[in-house]
Amino acid sequence: MRQIFLDTETTGLSADNGDRIIEIGCVEMVNRKLTGNNRHIYVNPGRDSHEEALKVHGITSEFLRDKPKFEEIADDLLAYLTGADVVIHNAPFDLGFLDMEFGKLGHPKVCEIVASVTDTLVMAKELYPGKRNSLDALCDRLEVDNSGRTLHGALLDAELLADVFINLTRGQNVLLMDDSSANEASGNGAPLLDLRAFTLPVLTANEQELSAHEAVLKQIDKDSKGKTVWRVLEPVAAG
């Protein structure tokens, strides 16, 4: 599995109102291992950043004056992203800008050339309802070192996002192993164990465990202000 963790910095918040991309950071991971095949690109947007945006990323128009225009880097970026599983924090923001930039050049939208797009903000909201789920908040919660992040930077943020994603999905690599991976793993000649030959015991929860489980559900429900799926579906199930 080839994944690209992507982040952008921009002149402002609205691609529709003429704001442009000024920095792109991409980190490649294959089978949950960093490859070092990254991309870090500064882009001359042909306009100044808004004052509030400048406070966030600190990238001045003077610094960007000799950097390439987006049309000069578009083909390479398009080829780099094609076929990858792209991971972005708050994907609609970055995709809106990338689609606008690619669209100006007659290129397809990102979703049309990549295998999939995963939004870690959506993932985090599902895992931590009612909590702060900014990249900084997730770094603190998941013990990812973000001490070097005094200003937003696309490559640094993409690197942090990769660490955050690994922590959010820890253990899932085992669940994603396919038959071919299993066969490769048994290449030493050891026979694969067929679990269908066994009758596995079913362990039921005792009253104390059921009570503790219900207490956790109630706390999650409280944190999400009654928006948990099991509470929403209860009236439907009852009907």
Segment holding 25, helix H or strand E: strand 21-30
Residue that is written with structure tokens 């080829």 in the block: 79
Helix (H) or strand (E) holding 6: strand 2-10
Return the DSSP state at 8: E
CA-closest candidate to residue 230, choices 239, 220, 201, 67 = 220
User: Strand runs (DSSP E) across 48-143, as ranges?
Assistant: 85-88, 116-119
Q: Catalytic residues, which ones? A: 152
Token readout for 39 is 């991309």
| Centroid of chain to Cα 74 | 22
Q: Which residue has the tokens 């997730």?
A: 138
Q: Read off the tokens for 143.
A: 């013990």
Tell the burial category of 143 from Cβ atoms under 10 Å away from its Cβ (0-12, 13-18, 19+): exposed
Contact in structure between 142 and 152 (CB atoms under 8 Å): no
